Structure 1
Amino acid sequence: MKTIKVIKIGGNIIDDDKSLESFLSAFAKLKGPKLLVHGGGKLASKMAKQMNITVKMNEGRRITDTNTLDIITMVYAGKINKNIIAQLQANKCNAIGFSGADGNSIVSEKRPTQPIDYGFVGDVKKVNTKTLEVLIENNITPVFCAITHDENGQLLNTNADTIASELAIGFASIFNTELYYCFEKNGVLKDINDDNSVVENITTETYKTFIADGTISDGMLPKLNNCFHAINNNVNKICIGKPSMLFEINSLYTTIQK
């Protein structure tokens, strides 16, 4: 069985032109089947402010009204996605940009309005890999933005970490699947101020302990919830850390285990 790498890059990489250029150059050289998922970085918020549209957040999560959905669709599925595709083509990596609506690849449902109404935010219901399999078998790399759809004509803003997790799970029946979350830290840290305090292995039991004692909190919680969702649904390998973990044998990073 072939191995596929599902790689998600965070906004810190997207927001820095040099970091993105360096990552995509290295990503293009990765051998074998691969798939890239990206978030939106700060550009959507910047454009919203330029258009006098209020950016509304709750506990770090974007509330997506109609105007905001228009902006993030333009930014995520348009400018950012196509910029990534163009750079990959320049690096001789044949790639195609995707939202969840393309090829009916990711279907979501609008999140319930209680206890918080997040607007047009989607929770993933199913992943359809058939179209993606054809592309991957022909050495074409899918690149996903953080937009899905509900099969009734409605686009939905969807967490990019979740999209990466669900795609990895969707491929787990036909590939050995590896999931990588790339961001600015060396991994999950015991001390947020010490980038070398990496927790190299996290299991379900140690995760519970870290939550209880406050070692893991805030924005890392949903990312790790996605990790354990994936590892419990037949994804073979999950790593969190800087992009260097993909290319350097001795790189620091966190591995998720059952």
Structure 2
Amino acid sequence: MEKLSIVKIGGNIIEDENLLNKFLTLFAHLKGKKILIHGGGKRATTISKKLGIEPSMLNGRRITDAATLEVITMVYGGLINKNIVAKLQALQTNAIGLTGADANTIISEKRPKQEVDFGYVGDVKKVDQLAINKLMQANFTPVFCAITHDNCGQLLNTNADTVTAQIAISLSKIYETSIYYCFELNGVLENINDTNSVIKTINNSTYNKLLSENKIVDGMIPKLENCINAINKGVQKVYLGNTDILTKNNTNFTTISL
């Protein structure tokens, strides 16, 4: 099987021009087929406030009303996505910017109302790996933002880590697929106050042990849930760490595998 690298970048990298440029240079030099996924929550929050729309968050997740969805569509699908695509073109990577609505690549359903109504938030139901593969076979590098659609005309805000995992699971039917979650930390930390306390390897059993010991908390829980789900559904390996995980020189990061 041909290898495929699927890379997701976090908001702190997007907000730091130097970090973003460094990351995109590393991404551009990755060999073989590759896909980039990004969110942009911090930028969306900043622009929302400038427009007089106060962001509403619950447990780190954004409640997306109609006005917030407009901002997210402008920021994720427009400002951030096209800025990244332009920078990659300058690095001789023929990128194409996408939402899940483009080529009907990612269909979601609106999250049902339960204790909390998250609004226009989507849970991924289907990824069209054949459509995405056609783009890669035509030598395009897909750059997905965290927006999907319900196939009935409605765009939906969707967690970028989940989008990454679902794209990877789908394409693992065609490629030997690995995920790289790039963010500001060196990896999954045993002690959040010690940036060098990286947990080097995690599998199903060690993940459950870390959960029971409360060593994985807050936003790292849904991120690792996506990682474990991906590994259990065909993804070869998942790597978490700073942008240097895209190089062969870095050994201080977290690897998740069966």
**TM-score, normalized by length of structure 2?**
0.98
CA distance in 1, matches of 2:120, 2:23: 31
CA distance in 2, matches of 1:43, 1:88: 20
Structure 1 unmatched runs, 5+: none
Counterpart position of 2:148: 148
Name whichever of 128-137 and 220-229 sits farther off.
128-137
CA distance in 2, matches of 1:145, 1:46: 18
For the residue of structure 1 that corresponds to 2:76, the secondary structure is helix
Q: Summarize the alignment of residues 15-164 of structure 1 with structure 2, pairs less than 5 Å apart.
A: 15-164=15-164
Counterpart code for 1:63: I
Structure 2 unmatched runs, 5+: none
Q: Summarize the alignment of residues 238-249 of structure 1 with structure 2, pairs less than 5 Å apart.
A: 238-249=238-249
CA distance in 2, matches of 1:10, 1:233: 23
Counterpart position of 1:224: 224
Say if 1:250 and 1:13 are closer, same or farther in 2 by CA, change over 3 A.
Answer: closer
CA distance in 2, matches of 1:73, 1:250: 35
Q: Summarize the alignment of residues 156-235 of structure 1 with structure 2, pairs less than 5 Å apart.
A: 156-235=156-235
For the residue of structure 2 that corresponds to 1:123, the secondary structure is strand
CA distance in 2, matches of 1:257, 1:82: 33
CA distance in 2, matches of 1:207, 1:254: 12
Counterpart code for 1:83: N
Counterpart code for 2:24: L
* Identical residues among aligned pairs (%): 54
CA distance in 1, matches of 2:250, 2:226: 25
User: Aligned-residue CA RMSD in angstroms?
Assistant: 0.8
Say if 1:151 and 1:193 are closer, same or farther in 2 by CA, change over 3 A.
Answer: same
For the residue of structure 2 that corresponds to 1:42, the secondary structure is helix
Name whichever of 223-232 and 43-52 sits farther off.
43-52
Contact preservation (8 Å) 2:236, 2:257: no
CA distance in 1, matches of 2:137, 2:80: 25
CA distance in 2, matches of 1:204, 1:130: 30
CA distance in 2, matches of 1:36, 1:215: 29
